[in-house]
Amino acid sequence: MDATQIQSPRAAKVGAGRVAPQYNRSGSSKGNFEMFAWLFMRLSGVVLVVLIFGHLAVNLLVGEGIHAIDFGFVAGKWADPFWQVWDLAMLWLAMLHGTNGVRTIINDYAEKDATRLWLKTVLYAATLVIVVLGTLVIFTFDPCPVANGVQLPGGFCPAP
Amino acid sequence: MSAELAEPASKIELPAGVGGGGEIPSFDVTLRVRRYNPEVSEDATWDDFKVTMYGTDRVLDALHKIKWEIDGSVSFRRSCAHGVCGSDAMRINGRNRLACKTLLKDLDTSKPITVEPIKGLPVEKDLIVDMEPFFQSFREVMPFLINRGHEPTKERLQSAEDRERFDDTTKCILCAACTSSCPVFWTDGQYFGPAAIVNAHRFIFDSRDDAGDMRLEILNDKEGVWRCRTTFNCSEACPRGIQVTKAIAEVKQAILARKI
């Protein structure tokens, strides 16, 4: 070794560069996704407060309150486009709000890239299933389902 | 005249015993110091040191006493020892503080005082961490004045109100107490961290600076301001009392205002 060269004790420990690789930002992320995600969290939170407390009040407090809730009550609500839209908004906002929150937690706490990828895959798959299924139910809900010309049990519908 | 440089006689008669500052209470205190030496072992250990200290002493004085009188191999950084240079940030009793600004008498001396290196940065030896990742983020926000106008012939003037806008963030001494107290930084070393954002804030809101947009664009990164979870650890850790979380929130707002 040249006499003027100064030994660098940390070089062997932290890898090739002067800074350990886990500190180097992997490329610049173009786009505003994180900004919109942050903004969505705040806005959806405010809207959800109104939607959820409205939902709770109508279902549990107004009229007979909690004693009125049954299949017929839900069927009656979903016959009204207003409540369809209300519940749809609640479903989508709550699911995306919650998914984004869990995504953030995974980003914060997962230490390995592989762990992060798998947790997020499971999260997004679960979100997709619930959102699609929920949307389908709200719009295709039939209080008097008929299968093979026979009415399915329920007891709320007049005989065909 | 040359030989007589003695103190001039006091004009006030002082009774004996006064003037020496009085008796300073002394007490025994145990410091539990996190030791790490990669040339000896890959594992860090705790070492206890019992020292007799005075009521006017700081944690740094205790560390000095240990290094100078008990174990010379104890390693830590310090430079000015008066809370200005920002060299001796460490985790004392689980909180990030400057060893030179923490009086022993303010801590619970009935139990051992734990002294660890700041978290989230690679430890090199004992209380010394590799600050390079921290300074790399600092450099990336371009913490210097960028002005596209003509070079003025005299100093760049600024109104008192304009100066007040970023006064809080000028106080940073780059001790890394904030960044290394941030739980996001602990697991994600790529996060710019509070200190880099504070120093970007100092120029973004400076009326004399023209590169605010560039800095906002840099901090709009996925490892930028949106990584902040507003846990306020940084504001609590800052030895200069900078409202770090507030500064980060202001940068977030500035990015939003620019984009929308």
Q: How confident is the model at residue B1, as a pLDDT?
A: 47
Start-to-end Cα distance in chain B = 76
Whether A35 and B220 have beta carbons less than 8 Å apart is answered as: yes
Whether B147 and B208 have beta carbons less than 8 Å apart is answered as: yes
* A35-39: long-range contacts, CB 8 A cutoff, minimum separation 24: A35/B220, A35/B226, A35/B255, A35/B256, A35/B259, A37/A100, A37/B226, A38/B226, A38/B252, A39/B256
* Nearest chain B residue to A8, by CA: B124
Contact B183 A34 (CB under 8 A): no
Widest Cα–Cα separation across chain B: 76
Q: Nearest C-alpha of chain B: how many angstroms from A152? A: 51
Q: How confident is the model at residue B8, as a pLDDT?
A: 65
Q: How many CB pairs under 8 A join A and B?
A: 59
Looking at chain B, the whole-number percentage of residues with pLDDT higher than 90 is 85
Mutation site, B137, B219, B222, interface A, largest A CB count within 10 A: B222
Domain extent at residue A58: 32-142
Q: B80 pLDDT exceeds 80?
A: yes
- Domain count of the fold of chain A: 1
- Domain annotation covers residue B2: no
- Domain annotation covers residue A138: yes
Find how far residue B100's CA is from the centre of its chain: 10
Q: How confident is the model at residue A14, as a pLDDT?
A: 43
* CATH assignment of the domain containing A56: 1.20.1300.10
Mutation site, B141, B226, B253, interface A, largest A CB count within 10 A: B226
C-alpha distance from residue B42 to each of A7, A138, B35, B36 (Å):
20, 59, 11, 8
Higher per-residue pLDDT: A122 or A112: A122
Q: Are residues B215 and B246 in the same domain?
A: yes
Numbers of helices and strands, H then E, in chain A: 5, 2
Strand B113-116: give its sheet, edge to edge.
Answer: B45-54, B26-35, B113-116, B89-92, B95-98
Q: Are residues B40 and B139 in the same domain?
A: no
- Residues of chain B contacting residue A110, judged by C-beta atoms under 8 Å apart: 187
Q: How confident is the model at residue A160, as a pLDDT?
A: 53
* CATH assignment of the domain containing B96: 3.10.20.30
Tokens of A132: 């699609």
- Domain annotation covers residue A76: yes
What is the rounded distance in angstroms from the CA atom of residue A103 to the CA atom of residue A127?
11
Mutation site, A18, A19, A39, interface B, largest B CB count within 10 A: A19
- Average pLDDT of A96-107? 95
- Domain annotation covers residue A22: no
Q: Nearest C-alpha of chain A: how many angstroms from B258? A: 12
pLDDT in tens, A1-41: 444 555 555 444 444 457 888 888 876 667 889 999 999 99
C-alpha distance from residue B131 to each of A37, B77, B87, B135 (Å):
31, 11, 10, 6
pLDDT in tens, B112-128: 999 999 999 999 999 99
- Domain annotation covers residue B233: yes
- Domain annotation covers residue B17: no
Q: Which distant-in-sequence residues (6+ apart) come within 8 Å of B248 by Cβ? A: B194, B197, B198, B201, B225, B228, B230, B234
Domain extent at residue B225: 132-147+159-259
Q: How confident is the model at residue A45, as a pLDDT?
A: 97
Q: Nearest C-alpha of chain B: how many angstroms from A123? A: 20
- Residues of chain A contacting residue B258, judged by C-beta atoms under 8 Å apart: none
Q: Are residues B244 and B140 in the same domain?
A: yes
Q: B74 pLDDT exceeds 70?
A: yes
Q: Are residues B198 and B221 in the same domain?
A: yes
Q: Nearest C-alpha of chain B: how many angstroms from A9? A: 9
Q: B72 pLDDT exceeds 90?
A: yes
**B102 class by beta-carbon count within 10 Å (0-12 exposed, 13-18 middle, 19+ buried):** buried
What is the rounded distance in angstroms from the CA atom of residue B171 to the CA atom of residue B174?
9
Q: How confident is the model at residue B149, as a pLDDT?
A: 85
Q: Are residues B107 and B49 in the same domain?
A: yes
Q: Are residues B106 and B90 in the same domain?
A: yes
Pairing of strands B113-116, B26-35: parallel
Query: What confidence category does residue A109 fall into, taking pLDDT thresholds of 50, 70 and 90?
Result: confident
pLDDT in tens, B168-209: 999 999 999 999 999 999 988 999 999 999 999 999 999 999
* Nearest chain B residue to A25, by CA: B190
Q: Nearest C-alpha of chain A: how many angstroms from B126? A: 14
- Domain count of the fold of chain B: 2
- Domain annotation covers residue B252: yes
- Domain annotation covers residue B1: no
pLDDT in tens, B198-255: 999 999 999 999 999 999 999 999 899 999 999 999 999 999 999 999 999 999 999 9
Q: Are residues B98 and B166 in the same domain?
A: no
What is the rounded distance in angstroms from the CA atom of residue A160 to the CA atom of residue A149?
9
Q: A120 pLDDT exceeds 60?
A: yes
Q: Are residues B69 and B136 in the same domain?
A: no
Q: Are residues B139 and B254 in the same domain?
A: yes
Q: How confident is the model at residue B25, as a pLDDT?
A: 86
- Residues of chain B contacting residue A23, judged by C-beta atoms under 8 Å apart: 133, 136, 189-190
Whether B115 and B33 have beta carbons less than 8 Å apart is answered as: yes
State the ipTM, two decimals. Answer: 0.80
Q: How confident is the model at residue A142, as a pLDDT?
A: 80
Q: Is B75 an interface residue toward A (CB < 8 Å)? A: no
Residues facing residue A143 across a β-bridge = none
